[in-house]
Amino acid sequence: MRGLLLLALLMVLVVVLWPLVKGALERLGRARLEESSARDELVKDPVCGTYIVRSRAIRDESGGRSVYFCGPRCAAQFSERERKA
């Protein structure tokens, strides 16, 4: 008798909690998808004009905005130009 009562209670808990857990997992999945798609956006190197995936680019700040470079050489050239300007 106790076993049946515990089984019924467990089933009620599953029925009540499952939609909450499912919703939380879906929101987490959407957040990760949005994060990865934003990371994989193409950005343009201002020095050589090459397009690079943002997650692999070298990032720097210039004038309050993010600037992305394909490699250290372009980043150094940009920094040199900024210092001279």
More confident residue, 55 or 85: 55
pLDDT per position as a tens digit, 47-56:
999 999 998 9
Q: Rounded to two decimals, what is the model's pTM?
A: 0.54
pLDDT per position as a tens digit, 24-60:
778 877 777 666 666 678 999 999 999 999 989 999 9
Query: How far is the C-alpha of 41 from the C-alpha of 52, rounded, in Å?
Result: 8
- Residues of the chain above pLDDT 70, percent: 91
